[in-house]
Amino acid sequence: MARPRERNVVLLGAPGSGKGTQAERIVARYGLPHISTGDMLRAAVAGGTETGREAKRYMDAGELVPDEVVIGCVRERLAEGDTGDGFLLDGFPRTIDQAERLDALLADAGRGLTHVIQLDVPEDELVERLAGRRLCRVCGKGYHVVFDPPAREGVCDVCGGELYQRADDDEATVRNRLAVYRAQTEPLVEYYRGRGILHTASGGGKLPDEVFERVTEILDGAAS
């Protein structure tokens, strides 16, 4: 069980759903440490912990870090003092097995998740968001052909560099990424719905501020 005042949050959402934007706002409003899988693994490696050394072995070899090692990193991170009033997990868990292991390690610490927030955006809109992204080859500034276009098509406003589309942002690749997400991660929606802690924030056709209003309703206990 979660302790009083705790907000122990998992943020779920497909690529392009706005997880990064909403995570930043949750952290700023509620003061929760933002724990993403990549940041957590890098911190464990930099800290030279036993689990970090194990993770580094796989990362240096270009291999996926096994669940057992990732769970060890999660355990170490959640034991740190800044998580006492809660935390925001982003990018973990990704599978039912990881979710069950997370539940077990939290239970061992006398804790539990309080909110799982799903950012729900229709697939066609996700494709439009991701496939429309462009980056400057020179300075790296990002644009979007629909939502944030440059003054001159294909030219960076800042440095005049050429804009390009990342290989993994073409429509076919985007739809494949979304299919992988649906297959691997969407089962978590039903898992957490069964636990009674799933909440949905619709992101389709909405501005980030509008989505965050729903997120704050959920975290403040004003919405089911």
The residues carrying an active-site annotation are 19, 94, 133, 166, 177
Other beta carbons less than 10 A from residue 82's beta carbon: 12
Decide: 34 and 22 in contact? Cβ < 8 Å. Answer: no
Single-letter code of the amino acid located at 200: T
Rg of the Cα trace of the chain?
19
Decide: 37 and 27 in contact? Cβ < 8 Å. Answer: no
Determine the 3-state secondary structure of 34 from DSSP: strand
Determine the 3-state secondary structure of 163 from DSSP: strand
Q: Give the Cα separation of 149 and 133 in Å (integer).
A: 9
Q: DSSP strand E in the chain: where?
A: 7-13, 34-36, 86-90, 115-120, 133-136, 142-144, 163-164, 198-202
Decide: 156 and 138 in contact? Cβ < 8 Å. Answer: yes
Decide: 112 and 103 in contact? Cβ < 8 Å. Answer: yes
